[in-house]
Structure 1
């Protein structure tokens, strides 16, 4: 069966290491088993770019007592350990993860990741748009967009629907079908 984790970051500024929220959705044996969400105090605190706040709605006051990325990383790493990582627009989320690890001087795990947009494009070739909200609407999935836990969970649901449509049932099949799209952190 398929095991992976879907992640999503929200950022406080244009700096990739400015994560202010992280969501992770764990999939084991093709089923969602857990979704976790952390508010994060970014290095720029208390400054948040007004544009970013307009997108996700997270205010500096909400992260005043939140842990830093370094404080939560070991718990997050344990959830991700050995898993394929998925994200919608994975280049952004992988970049935020990489930048946060670099900023805090943390070891970068060797992690394969895949963009759920690639899964969607291969699964539903006729769609006009492949944004997370468009795909959720297409599949009648309701969620609060631009909140990390909700976005990670919708990413996981869309990936599972895509894998089902493509008759991809195991991680080795994911690696075979998406070998050109798989990246390493």
Structure 2
């Protein structure tokens, strides 16, 4: 299995307002790298207090951070050619599209899958499928609502789901989940 898990935290309700991005790279079914970037969003210095209450990132934390367009090429190189997985992927794919659009950058040809769909396929008896609930169910400790930690837990849960579903290759994932895999 080769894929990347991605997570964003945002400063406002705007999809282009990423203030943190985390990417976890999985190669041969092993986590090989997790990277987190603080990002100065276009709304800087404004952050919605509700967003701060969720993730704890303040304007002061990103005042010297690069903007999305300054870090995207490094992130894109890490993700190149892999399946992207996110927990509640419509949100994270929307933020990625919003950031790319804001800076007039092209969207990469990337397939993505929601780990919630994977979890529902793997553990259809659970009452909830939020990242925190799944992490607790699998006894995974993490700093919730921080992008790098969330991306890494998404990767771990995805690996556990692939194991439970007896999926050992990206082709098998595509065959089983083809209706759930979307294009960025």
TM over 0.5: yes
2:88 is aligned to 89
**Alpha-carbon distance between aligned partners in 2 of 1:65 and 1:14, rounded to the nearest angstrom:** 22
1:91-135 alpha-carbon deviations (Å, 9 max, x no partner): 000000001000000111110000000100000010000000000
1:36 is aligned to 35
2:103 is aligned to 104
> Shift of the alpha carbon at 1:63?
0.1
1:49 is aligned to 48
2:142 is aligned to 143
**Alpha-carbon distance between aligned partners in 2 of 1:8 and 1:97, rounded to the nearest angstrom:** 10
1:164 is aligned to 163
**Alpha-carbon distance between aligned partners in 2 of 1:107 and 1:180, rounded to the nearest angstrom:** 25
1:36-58 alpha-carbon deviations (Å, 9 max, x no partner): 00000000000000000000000
> Shift of the alpha carbon at 1:5?
0.1
2:7 is aligned to 8
1:115 is aligned to 114
> Shift of the alpha carbon at 1:68?
0.2
Q: Does 1:64 align with 2:60?
A: no
- Which ranges of structure 1 fall in alignment gaps of 5 or more residues? none
**Alpha-carbon distance between aligned partners in 2 of 1:174 and 1:100, rounded to the nearest angstrom:** 28
**Alpha-carbon distance between aligned partners in 1 of 2:36 and 2:108, rounded to the nearest angstrom:** 21
**Alpha-carbon distance between aligned partners in 1 of 2:125 and 2:176, rounded to the nearest angstrom:** 19
Q: TM-score of the superposition, structure 1-length normalised?
A: 0.99
- Which ranges of structure 2 fall in alignment gaps of 5 or more residues? none
**Alpha-carbon distance between aligned partners in 1 of 2:87 and 2:95, rounded to the nearest angstrom:** 13
**Alpha-carbon distance between aligned partners in 2 of 1:43 and 1:101, rounded to the nearest angstrom:** 12
**Alpha-carbon distance between aligned partners in 2 of 1:151 and 1:58, rounded to the nearest angstrom:** 14
- Number of matched residues? 184
RMSD over aligned CA atoms reads 0.3
> Shift of the alpha carbon at 1:161?
0.1
**Alpha-carbon distance between aligned partners in 2 of 1:141 and 1:97, rounded to the nearest angstrom:** 26
